[in-house]
Amino acid sequence: MHELSIAQSLLGIVLDEAQRHGVNKVTKVVVRIGALAGVVPSSLSFSFDLIKEGTKAAEAELVIEQEPAQGVCHACGAEIDMSSLVDQCPSCTSKDIEFLGGQELFVDHIEAE
């Protein structure tokens, strides 16, 4: 995906929240990224570090919490963590799997002084 434009959107939200709450220095940004969101965490960190300079988030630490992608096997009913969209059920090896989520990109919370 496009980590730099995602980082720009992220920074926009962080600075908007900082302004709304009247804080001058953001110290931490915590985001939740689904395992199947197509985002490479190291690329996102790299891009965020590039663009945060000179803003209220210049010294903010970016914490990326990866959420596993979930699926359910229609053959045996097992709920499974999915690392790719074409997984086999680990219990019964069926490929009849319904994908339940794991593509989210969320700003959970920020910490500020």
Partner 1 sequence: MAEIEVGRSILEANEKLAEQHRERFVASGVKVLNLISSPGAGKTSVLEQTLGRLRGRLSCAVIEGDVQTDEDAQRVAACGVPAVQIETRGACHLDGPMIGQALAVLDLDSLDLLIIENVGNLVCPVDFDLGEDMKVAVLSVAEGDDKPSKYPALFQQAGVLLVNKVDLLPYIDCDLERIHRTSAQLNPTQKAFDISCRTGEGLDEWIDWLVGWVKG
Give the distance from CA 64 to its chain's centroid. 6
Binding site for partner 1 (CB under 8 A): 1-2, 6, 9-10, 12-13, 17, 21, 23, 27, 31, 36, 38, 84-86, 95-96, 99, 104-113
Per the CB < 8 A criterion, the answer to whether 29 and 61 are in contact is: yes
CB nearer to partner 1: give 23 or 72: 23
Nearest to 37 by CA among 73, 78, 66: 66
SS3 4: helix
Least separation in angstroms between CB 30 and partner 1: 9
Least separation in angstroms between CB 110 and partner 1: 5
